[in-house]
Amino acid sequence: MNVRLNSRWWSFGFRSAIMLYFVILIVLPITGIYVQSFSLGLRPFWDSVSNPLAWKAVLLTLKLAVIATILNMALGTMVGWVLVRYRFPGRRLLNSLVDLPFALPTAVTGLMILLLLGPGSFVGEWAGKAGIDIVFHEPAIVIAMLFVTFPFVIRAVQPLLEEIDASEEEAAYTLGASKARTFFRVIFPSMLPGILSGAMLAFSRALAEFGAVVLIAGNIPGKTLVASVYIFGEIESDNPQGAAAVSIILLTLSFAILWIVNYVQGRRTNR
């Protein structure tokens, strides 16, 4: 009786601690953003959201995040495939390098891209002579987004590739299917949930990128100013309500994406 009572109290305390942690770290800050964005009423909220500079920043962010995500899906799938399926010298080193973007502060990422591609660098000077704009233009933002989101698709695809039953592939080959046909009809469908969930996380992360982008984007309003830097500018200009209004657009998008990721992963688990 006493043991059961104790375990019930433990269970209650444990669940309460988790709920409290969740509320303090996630629910309260998000609620604060929503409250702040409507703090001056609906009209100022709408004015902030419909500001052409805000819209341009959000649309630019969406466009570049989509480009970075598509590149990530292609490169991530290829790298994940090679690292799981092939044995070659340097494989472990490459595999450990994949996680580098998670370990580096994003400001360092921005600095690395600036040193590598900026004015004064070999690539920067060559691109300048060829009339190609990289740093302080959209390509640099895409490169930064690609760098910080690089591990997502790879790390989502790798476990799925390891789980694929070799007998399915062998059966396809035995039945006369070509390598390409086996890949697209047997292997790719198994990898697809991983590619999609990795891509969604990468897209969500690219939308929120600030540290790397602020150093290399040039931050020209209406041209290279992304949403996260716009929000920072609004805070600096003492307009927290305007910053919160644009923030909830990004927040709502991120929520929708996370919901889709959970749905995709849920389907994968139920299979």
Partner 1 sequence: MRRLWIALTYAVIVLLLAVPLVKIFSGAWADGWSGFIEGLTGRKRCTRL
Which residues contact partner 1 by CB under 8 A? 75, 78-79, 81-83, 86, 88, 90, 94, 97-98, 100-101, 108-109, 111-113, 115-116, 121, 146-147, 150
Nearer to partner 1 by Cβ, of 19 and 78: the residue is 78
Q: Positive or negative, the Cα torsion across 220, 64, 202, 85? A: negative
Nearer to partner 1 by Cβ, of 49 and 112: the residue is 112
Nearer to partner 1 by Cβ, of 84 and 264: the residue is 84
Please report where in the chains the tokens 């009572």 appear, as a residue.
5
Nearer to partner 1 by Cβ, of 29 and 90: the residue is 90
3-state secondary structure of 104: coil
Nearer to partner 1 by Cβ, of 83 and 200: the residue is 83
> In angstroms, rounded to a whole number, what is the distance separating the alpha carbons of residues 216 and 213?
5
Least Cβ distance, residue 204 to partner 1 (angstroms) = 20
Least Cβ distance, residue 139 to partner 1 (angstroms) = 13
Cα 248 versus chain centre, distance: 17
Nearer to partner 1 by Cβ, of 94 and 220: the residue is 94
251 Cβ neighbours under 8 A, 6+ residues apart: 30, 33
Least Cβ distance, residue 121 to partner 1 (angstroms) = 8
Nearer to partner 1 by Cβ, of 127 and 251: the residue is 127
* Under 8 Å between Cβ of 154 and 83: yes
Q: DSSP characters for 116-182?
A: HHSTTSHHHHHHHHHT---TTSHHHHHHHHHHHHHHHHHHHHHHHHHHS-HHHHHHHHHTT--HHHH
Least Cβ distance, residue 77 to partner 1 (angstroms) = 11
Least Cβ distance, residue 102 to partner 1 (angstroms) = 11
Least Cβ distance, residue 115 to partner 1 (angstroms) = 5
> In angstroms, rounded to a whole number, what is the distance separating the alpha carbons of residues 219 and 67?
19
Token couple for 109: 């990422």
Query: CA dist 52 to 38, 43, 59, 223, Å?
Result: 19, 16, 10, 12
Least Cβ distance, residue 213 to partner 1 (angstroms) = 15
Q: At what angle do helices 42-49 and 240-270 cross, to 10 degrees?
A: 80
